[in-house]
């Protein structure tokens, strides 16, 4: 039984139902017992209060599969070529018709009215609201008699999407953009219907040794010419691997589009999968922990929550001053020893003892740096595990990739450049990922993002008209925002992951350290964090 919020069931009714289920199976009796426990737990007078469910979020993911044209006959390849060339011509005609009738078919929001476009292009053989349309200004059925009505609609949708995308870019751009022109083959998108009514179907054949997955296309070229009622089918073998087996869910396929790669001379089938997941991945509110790495301060972490405010209890400055002073002392000793070594080499003196001293000092420095990194990672992991109990937590770590190139020789302080080159940012992030994964964190919850320009940008107004007093204080001249520079960088690093998710141009999140791509559906709980981008 399923109880909604509007239904109220008394304990007497539940007890009466239990008297009738003596002959039921053990599983059904257990279900009734669970209901009775819910009645006792949720409220008085036998009221069952269902938990409020989070709203569902619909998102899409594209999975490409190569078509094994080497297993197809010459006739099948020729049919595939003819279908795609016909679709390309129809899409071009739709774009031309939209261009010359923009004033009539465009709505106030800039979208194309599909019904008005159909009145200009397609006749009808059935009664509609406007009765029969026996003549239209641009009769595409007369020009392409071997195309079905469903195929015309799919080509129309492709042309509308292309036009609206160009229109949105033109409204933002200051220059005059050229209109979309399809010089190469641009097939229409195919939609999957129910009960075999769609223009394509995907079939799994585990017994077939040539291909385990087959794509069935509905083809109307020869059907229209011969006057048949049932359309012919074109079967395409797909390159199906264990990688696709994990990502491709046949029941979630919504749309498919054929793509021709001219350089490789290959055909690909891009399947669009539709998922509906809860806005919250758990009952806890989402949060992002931004981590900024440095030299004087090993790590600075700040938590970004849906409240849009930063609390002092959710900020950590991780630094061990004793180890830092030891590292700086060793750096000075190494510089002095290196200076003596160069002087001895120029004078032609023996340098064995200086080489041994330099080797020991460098090994000692390396040991202390690893101890400092281990200490900082443990402190950050403990802080993260505390926050995990209260939030649906994700960690965004800034990775200063190629930071050595920002401090070449002759650009500034020599000692600072040497410390920067010897610091192990990659090792720190690798240890942090390993530790958090061992405590139950999924790898996709710890993402390394670009750190560039996070220390120059204001975390409040996103302005770059800023200055830093040394390495400690950050000043914004537009909004007069003053705070710790490393804390400002940590906030920008957390906001960068939120921006990657909510304003993503792709269907995945890319980790610049591990080169892993995580599907965007795992980050749909970020919607309440969008106020950090305002």
Does residue 341 lie in a domain region?
Answer: no
In the predicted structure, residue 30 carries a pLDDT above the cut 80: no
pLDDT digits (tens, 9 = 90+) for 342-358: 888 888 888 888 888 88
Does residue 149 lie in a domain region?
Answer: yes
Does residue 332 lie in a domain region?
Answer: no
Does residue 98 lie in a domain region?
Answer: yes
Continuous segment of H or E residues that includes residue 337:
helix 321-347
Q: What is the structure's pLDDT at 305?
A: 92
pLDDT digits (tens, 9 = 90+) for 467-522: 887 667 888 888 888 888 888 889 999 999 999 999 887 888 989 888 888 888 88
Per cent of the chain over pLDDT 90 is 10
Continuous segment of H or E residues that includes residue 533:
none
In the predicted structure, residue 80 carries a pLDDT above the cut 50: yes
38 and 92 inside one domain:
no
pTM as predicted = 0.50
145 and 220 inside one domain:
yes
Helical packing angle, 114-121 and 149-172, nearest 10°: 130
* Domain total in the chain: 3
Q: What is the structure's pLDDT at 515?
A: 84
Pairing status of strand 253-261 against strand 189-191: antiparallel
1 and 84 inside one domain:
no
Give mean pLDDT, residues 32-47. 38
Continuous segment of H or E residues that includes residue 472:
none
Bridge partners, 67 (sequence order): 238
pLDDT digits (tens, 9 = 90+) for 156-199: 888 898 888 888 888 878 788 888 877 777 777 877 765 556 77
pLDDT band at 251 (very low <50, low <70, confident <90, very high): confident
Domain boundary at 244, 278, 312, which?
278
19 and 117 inside one domain:
no
Q: Which has more confidence, 279 or 364?
A: 364
Does residue 351 lie in a domain region?
Answer: no
222 and 74 inside one domain:
yes
- Tell which residue, 249, 355, 342, 290, has the closest CA to residue 487: 290
Structure tokens at 430: 């690798």
In the predicted structure, residue 303 carries a pLDDT above the cut 90: yes
70 and 48 inside one domain:
no
Continuous segment of H or E residues that includes residue 471:
none
Q: What is the structure's pLDDT at 58?
A: 65
Cβ proximity of 306 and 286 under 8 Å: yes
128 and 42 inside one domain:
no
In the predicted structure, residue 384 carries a pLDDT above the cut 90: yes
508 and 386 inside one domain:
yes
Which of 32-36, 99-103, 143-147, 221-225 is least confident?
A: 32-36
In the predicted structure, residue 27 carries a pLDDT above the cut 60: no
Structure tokens at 82: 């003819």
Cα 506 to Cα 508: distance, rounded to the nearest angstrom: 6
Q: What is the structure's pLDDT at 281?
A: 52
Tell how far CA 444 is from the center of its chain.
Answer: 11
Strand spans (E) along 67-206: 189-191, 200-204
SS (H, E, C) 425-470: HHHHHHHHHHHHHHCCCCHHHEEEEECCCCCCCCCCCCCCCEEEEC
88 Cβ neighbours under 8 A, 6+ residues apart: 182, 184, 185, 186, 187
Give mean pLDDT, residues 378-403. 88
In the predicted structure, residue 263 carries a pLDDT above the cut 50: yes
Which of 7-11, 130-134, 154-158, 250-254 is least confident?
A: 7-11
Q: Is 199 exposed, middle or buried (0-12, 13-18, 19+ CB in 10 A)?
A: buried
pLDDT band at 20 (very low <50, low <70, confident <90, very high): very low
Q: What is the structure's pLDDT at 131?
A: 67
Give mean pLDDT, residues 42-56. 37
347 Cβ neighbours under 8 A, 6+ residues apart: none
79 Cβ neighbours under 8 A, 6+ residues apart: 219, 221, 234
Which of 39-43, 105-109, 197-201, 527-531 is least confident?
A: 39-43
Does residue 343 lie in a domain region?
Answer: no
Give mean pLDDT, residues 411-432. 70
Give mean pLDDT, residues 242-261. 83
Cβ proximity of 280 and 74 under 8 Å: no
Does residue 171 lie in a domain region?
Answer: yes
Please state, as a whole number, how many other Cβ atoms lie within 10 Å of the Cβ of residue 418.
15
Q: What is the structure's pLDDT at 289?
A: 95
The domain that holds 421 is classified in CATH as 3.30.420.140
Query: What phi, psi does 379 have (nearest 5°)?
Result: -65, -40
Average model confidence (pLDDT) for the chain? 78
pLDDT band at 413 (very low <50, low <70, confident <90, very high): low
2 and 115 inside one domain:
no
Q: Which has more confidence, 534 or 237?
A: 237
Structure tokens at 66: 């190569």
399 and 524 inside one domain:
yes
Q: What is the structure's pLDDT at 225?
A: 63
262 and 130 inside one domain:
yes
314 and 441 inside one domain:
yes
Q: What is the structure's pLDDT at 311?
A: 87
Q: What is the structure's pLDDT at 354?
A: 86
Q: Is 273 exposed, middle or buried (0-12, 13-18, 19+ CB in 10 A)?
A: buried
Q: What is the structure's pLDDT at 34?
A: 47
Cβ proximity of 253 and 43 under 8 Å: no
In the predicted structure, residue 466 carries a pLDDT above the cut 60: yes
Which of 69-83, 309-323, 338-352, 405-419 is least confident?
A: 405-419
Does residue 347 lie in a domain region?
Answer: no
Structural domain including 24 reads 1-52
pLDDT digits (tens, 9 = 90+) for 286-297: 999 999 988 778
């Amino acid at each position: 039984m399923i109880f909604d919020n509007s239904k109220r069931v008394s304990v007497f009714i539940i007890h009466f139902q239990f008297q009738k289920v003596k002959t039921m199976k053990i599983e059904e009796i257990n279900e009734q017992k669970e209901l009775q426990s819910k009645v006792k737990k949720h409220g008085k007078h036998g009221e069952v209060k269902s938990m409020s469910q989070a709203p569902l979020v619909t998102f899409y993911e594209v999975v490409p599969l190569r078509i094994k044209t080497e297993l197809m006959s010459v006739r099948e390849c020729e049919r595939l070529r003819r279908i795609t060339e016909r679709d390309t011509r129809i899409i071009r005609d739709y774009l031309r018709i939209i261009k010359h009738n923009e004033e009539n078919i465009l709505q106030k929001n800039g979208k194309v009215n599909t019904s008005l476009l159909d009145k200009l292009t397609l006749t009808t053989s059935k009664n509609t609201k406007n009765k029969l349309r026996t003549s239209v200004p641009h009769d595409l059925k007369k020009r392409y008699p071997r195309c079905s009505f469903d195929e015309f609609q799919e080509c129309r949708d492709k042309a509308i999407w292309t036009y609206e995308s160009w229109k949105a870019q033109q409204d933002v751009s200051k220059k005059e953009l050229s209109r979309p022109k399809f010089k190469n083959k641009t097939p229409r998108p195919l939609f999957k219907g129910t009960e075999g009514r769609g223009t394509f179907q995907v079939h799994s054949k585990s017994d077939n040794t040539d291909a385990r997955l087959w794509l069935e296309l509905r083809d109307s070229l020869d059907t229209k010419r011969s006057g048949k009622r049932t359309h012919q089918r074109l079967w395409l073998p797909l390159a199906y691997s264990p990688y696709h087996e994990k990502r491709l869910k046949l029941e979630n396929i919504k749309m498919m589009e054929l793509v021709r790669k001219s350089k490789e001379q290959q055909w690909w089938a891009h399947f669009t999968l539709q998922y509906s997941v809860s806005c919250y991945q758990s009952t806890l509110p989402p949060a992002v922990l931004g981590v900024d790495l440095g030299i004087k301060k090993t790590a600075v972490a700040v938590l970004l929550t849906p409240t849009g405010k930063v609390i002092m209890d959710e900020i950590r400055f991780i630094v061990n001053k004793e180890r830092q002073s030891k590292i700086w002392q060793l750096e000075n000793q190494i510089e002095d020893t290196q200076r003596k070594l160069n002087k001895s080499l120029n004078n032609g003196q023996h340098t064995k003892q200086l080489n041994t001293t330099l080797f020991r000092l460098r090994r000692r420095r390396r040991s202390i740096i690893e101890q400092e990194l281990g200490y900082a990672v443990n402190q950050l992991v403990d802080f993260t595990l505390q926050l995990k109990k209260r939030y649906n937590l994700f960690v965004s770590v800034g990775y200063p990739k190629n930071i050595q190139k920002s401090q070449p020789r002759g650009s500034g302080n020599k000692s600072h450049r040497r410390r920067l080159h010897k610091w192990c940012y990659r090792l720190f992030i690798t240890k942090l990922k390993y530790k958090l994964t061992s405590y139950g964190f999924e790898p996709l919850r710890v993402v390394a993002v670009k750190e560039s320009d996070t220390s120059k940008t204001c975390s409040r107004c996103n302005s770059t008209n800023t200055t830093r007093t040394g390495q400690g204080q950050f000043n914004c001249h537009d909004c007069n925002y003053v705070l710790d520079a490393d804390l400002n960088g940590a906030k920008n690093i957390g906001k960068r992951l939120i921006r990657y998710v909510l304003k993503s141009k792709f269907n995945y999140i890319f980790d610049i350290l591990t080169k892993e791509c995580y599907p965007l559906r795992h980050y749909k709980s970020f919607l309440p964090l969008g106020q950090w981008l305002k």
